[in-house]
Structure 1
Amino acid sequence: MQDYYRRRAAVYERIYARPERQDDLRAMEAALPALYAGRRVLEVACGTGWWTPHGARDARRWLATDINPETMDVARAKAMPACVEFRRVDAHQWSELGSETFDAAFAGFWWSHVPLQQLRGWLDSLHARLEPGAQVVFIDNRYVAGSSTPLSHTDADGNTWQQRALDDGSVHAVLKNFPDRAQALALLGPRARAPRWTEHTHYWVLDYTLA
């Protein structure tokens, strides 16, 4: 996965140019600022920073993290709100943040890439970095035939996979799960207060307050 996104960094945002997805994108971009106004936010796997300026517009602090310098170089080249800082952090190794905690978190298109057998534990590790009452938002893809990359297979743990080709001719097996509302809320359980699941045509948004 790390190698795939490193190689894809320069062309990653082509996916946001698809005409059929524009209405969904504008709606999600417009909704983000109010969710994070005045908050100290940890962004998970910021990639090329498409969502960062939208979420960070009214934030107090926004720490955008990613494991790949190549994708963060693209993000750093963009105009960002003054509260934004970037740091290389592995989302599976939060110890790199030292003792820092936050009162909000954002993850765009990360949930779907965490193996199902690891997802509950990963959510625990994220929540451990957040203060009670923290605002948490996940954005990810719905599977839409004809728009989404077809699924190639399902593994023994129930994870679904895609075969994705890059401009250099390489083909990569990419884990990509497509949860529904019931599956996501079951994983979160009572730690998610007042969860809201919003479905757009091509995406879903889950936001909640951490108990």
Structure 2
Amino acid sequence: MKAYYSNRAKSYEEVYFREDPIRQAELIQIKDVLKEKFIGRDVLEVACGTGYWTQYVAETAKYITAIDYSEEVLAIAKEKQLLPSKVSFVQGNAYKLNQLAKTFNGAYANFWFSHIPKENIFSFLEQFHEVLESGSIVCMVDNMYNEGMGGTLISKPNDENTYKIRSLASGQQYEIIKNYYSKEELTTIFEPFAVDLEIHMNTCFWIVTYKVK
């Protein structure tokens, strides 16, 4: 996973500029939700990548601590030259968020949740919520399954996860975890942590928002 996104870093944001009016409308909706939800909040961004979403949330948030495991994508994020008074980009492990040694009253993760092995979801969410204050706002966004988009989907015997085979322009191929969820599954996953849980299943993306119990 790290190798794939590190090697794809320079071309990663191309995914946001596909000429698809439905997709573009939904991306605008995501931007609007993020900017509205995090007004004036001290926010944690998990798996920030190249800082594509960070730049929009920074318009309204009080401060963003944006973490990613890949130095290559963080280097591109820092080139956006977002104000240090508003954003810090930090190399960090999404499964060890307590190492940040602070708490937040808002958090989001865009296009990260689908890469979590299903057997690790509960442990990830437990430690994720440990760094969030009660009443914090959370937003998670990820892909709906659309056949033919983003590589070939495969499954494996005795494995509850699904995977995508993805190719880079160089011809390198990678197999990465990519899980897709129904509204019912997302409800079951997030309900134990959530107040005012809202789940929107669109054509290209789903959006989960809630307040932390």
**Structure 2 length-normalised TM:** 0.94
Q: 1:50 aligns with which of 38, 49, 52?
A: 52
SS in 1 for 2:56: helix
For 2:157 and 2:177, locate their aligned partners in 1 and report how far apart those are by CA, in whole Å: 10
Q: Which amino acid aligns with 2:138?
A: V
Question: Displacement of 1:69 after TM fit?
Answer: 1.1
For residues 78-116 of structure 1, give each alpha carbon's deviation from its aligned partner in whole angstroms, at most 9, with x where no partner exists: 153541111111111224212x11111110011100000
| Structure 2 stretches lacking a partner, 5+ long | none
1:40 and 2:37 correspond: no
| Structure 1 stretches lacking a partner, 5+ long | none
Question: Displacement of 1:200 after TM fit?
Answer: 2.3
Partner of 1:60: 62
Partner of 1:93: 96
Partner of 1:3: 3
Check conservation: 1:116, 1:157, Cα contact below 8 A. Answer: no
After TM superposition, where is structure 1 displaced by more than 6 Å over at least 4 residues in a row?
none
Check conservation: 1:160, 1:175, Cα contact below 8 A. Answer: yes
Alignment root-mean-square deviation, CA: 1.4
For residues 144-167 of structure 1, give each alpha carbon's deviation from its aligned partner in whole angstroms, at most 9, with x where no partner exists: 123342302245231110110112
Superposition pairs for residues 51-200 of structure 1, below 5 Å? 51-80=53-82, 82-98=85-101, 100-200=102-202
Q: Which amino acid aligns with 1:61?
A: Y
Question: Displacement of 1:189 after TM fit?
Answer: 2.6
For 1:154 and 1:207, locate their aligned partners in 2 and report how far apart those are by CA, in whole Å: 31
Q: Which moved more, 1:41-50 or 1:28-37?
A: 28-37
For 1:159 and 1:70, locate their aligned partners in 2 and report how far apart those are by CA, in whole Å: 27
Q: Which amino acid aligns with 1:87?
A: V
